[in-house]
C-alpha cells in the first residue's frame, strides 16, 4: 500500500507539474495578447517623506486583469515574462506608459520604473529609455530605474557599461529589494545608485518580535547614508512599524500604511487638488492581505 501510495503521489506530483507548465504557457500567451490589446495598466504607489508625510514620488507597478482568471499579480506574471523575450515588450511598454503618465503630474515628482535583470542585460535598453523620455517630454532626472541585486550576478563589465550608459542619459538608479539577494557591500559602493530600497521582509514586523529585522534595517540605512543614497523603507503596513521607521535615518516610506498603488486618474485627481500630503491609514484597515 505504501508503495502504491508512493506511486500515486508521484503521478499526482507530475500532473501538478504538467498543470503548472500549461498554466505558464497559457499565461505567456494571454500576456502576449494583453500587450497587443493594450489591456495592461500601470498603477502608482506613493513614496512618502518620513518626517512631513509629503509625497515625494511614485513607483509604477504593472496591473493585469486577466479576461477569465481576474487579477493576476505581477509577482506571478513578471517571472514568466522574464523566462521569454516577452519581458522586453512588457518592459518597454511599462517605461513608455510610466513616462507619459508622470509627464502629466504637476510639479517635479519622479516616477520609479522596475527594470528586470533580463531587460537590463539587453543592450538596447538605453535607446528605449531615451526614446521614452523624448516621446513623453519627461525630464530625465524625473525617471528612476529600479533594479535588483541580481544584475551583479552576470557579467560585471556589461553591468558597469549599462550603468554608465544610463547615467549618461541623466536618469536615476535605484536598488530594489535590498538585502534579499547577493547584497554585496563592495558592489554597493562601486555602483552609481541614487536610492536604495530596504526590502519589505526586513521592514515587516521590525517593531515587534523581529528584533534582528530592526538591526538589519538600521545597518542598511547607515551604510546607504554613508554612500549618500536616498533610503526607502518598503512594505510598511502597521502604525508601530511606521513609528519605528520614522525614528531611523530613513528618508521615505512606501507601504500600504499610506496607500496601495492607484491608477493614473486617481493620482491626477489628488495632485490636481494640491493634496501632496498622505496620512497613515487607521488601524481598522491595517494588516491588509
Q: Using CA atoms, how far apart are residues 248 and 238, in angstroms rounded to an integer?
A: 16
Strand partners, 147: 175
Which of residues 145, 261, 276, 281 is near ligand C2E by CB under 6 A? 261
Sign, Cα dihedral of 262, 264, 270, 271: positive
Q: Which of residues 256, 264, 278, 281 is near ligand C2E by CB under 6 A?
A: 256
Q: Residue from 237, 244, 276, 280 that binds ligand C2E (CB under 6 A)?
A: 237
For Mg ion, the binding residue among 144, 146, 241, 251 (CB under 5 A) is: 146
Residue 114 makes contact with Mg ion by CB under 5 A: yes
Q: How far is CA 136 from CA 39, 131, 142, 283, in A?
A: 20, 8, 12, 40
CA distance 101 to 63: 15
Q: How many CB atoms lie within 10 A of CB 22?
A: 10
Does residue 46 belong to the site contacting ligand C2E (CB under 6 A)?
no
The answer to whether 162 touches 125, Cβ cutoff 8 Å, is yes
Binding mask 47-76 for ligand C2E (x = CB under 6 A): --------------xx----------xxx-
Site string for ligand C2E, 161-200 (x = CB under 6 A): ---------------xx----------------------x
Among the listed residues 31, 34, 48, 78, the single contact to ligand C2E using CB under 6 A:
78
Rounded Cα gap, residues 233 and 47, in angstroms: 9
Please choose, out of 16-24, 208-216, 255-263, 278-286, the segment that lies near ligand C2E by the rule CB under 6 A.
Answer: 255-263
The site for Mg ion (CB under 5 A) is made up of 114, 146, 176-177, 234
Amino acid at each position: 500500500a505504501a508503495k502504491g501510495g508512493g506511486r500515486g503521489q508521484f503521478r499526482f506530483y507530475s500532473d501538478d507539474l504538467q498543470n503548472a507548465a500549461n498554466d505558464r504557457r497559457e499565461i505567456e500567451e494571454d500576456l502576449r495578447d494583453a500587450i497587443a490589446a493594450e489591456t495592461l495598466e500601470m498603477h502608482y504607489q506613493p513614496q512618502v517623506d518620513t518626517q512631513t508625510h509629503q509625497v515625494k514620488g511614485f513607483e509604477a507597478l504593472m496591473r493585469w486583469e486577466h479576461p477569465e482568471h481576474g487579477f493576476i499579480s505581477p509577482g506571478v506574471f513578471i517571472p514568466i515574462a522574464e523566462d521569454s523575450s516577452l519581458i522586453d515588450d512588457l518592459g518597454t511598454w511599462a517605461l513608455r506608459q510610466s513616462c507619459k503618465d508622470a509627464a502629466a503630474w504637476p510639479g517635479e515628482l519622479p516616477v520609479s520604473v522596475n527594470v528586470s535583470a533580463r531587460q537590463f542585460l539587453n543592450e538596447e535598453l538605453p535607446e528605449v529609455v531615451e526614446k521614452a523620455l523624448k516621446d513623453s517630454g519627461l525630464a530625465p532626472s524625473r525617471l528612476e530605474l529600479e533594479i535588483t541585486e541580481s544584475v551583479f550576478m552576470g557579467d560585471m563589465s556589461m553591468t558597469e557599461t549599462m550603468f554608465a550608459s544610463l547615467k549618461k542619459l541623466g536618469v536615476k538608479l535605484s536598488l530594489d529589494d535590498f538585502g534579499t539577494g547577493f547584497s554585496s557591500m563592495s558592489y554597493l559602493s562601486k555602483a552609481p545608485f541614487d536610492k536604495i530600497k530596504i526590502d519589505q521582509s526586513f521592514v515587516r514586523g521590525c517593531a515587534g518580535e523581529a528584533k534582528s529585522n530592526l538591526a538589519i534595517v538600521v545597518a542598511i540605512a547607515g551604510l546607504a547614508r554613508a554612500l549618500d543614497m536616498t533610503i526607502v523603507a518598503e512594505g510598511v503596513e502597521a502604525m508601530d512599524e511606521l513609528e519605528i521607521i520614522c525614528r531611523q535615518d530613513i528618508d521615505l516610506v512606501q507601504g500600504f500604511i499610506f496607500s496601495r498603488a492607484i491608477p493614473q486618474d486617481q493620482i491626477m485627481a489628488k495632485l490636481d487638488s494640491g493634496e501632496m500630503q498622505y496620512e497613515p491609514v487607521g488601524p481598522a484597515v491595517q494588516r491588509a492581505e
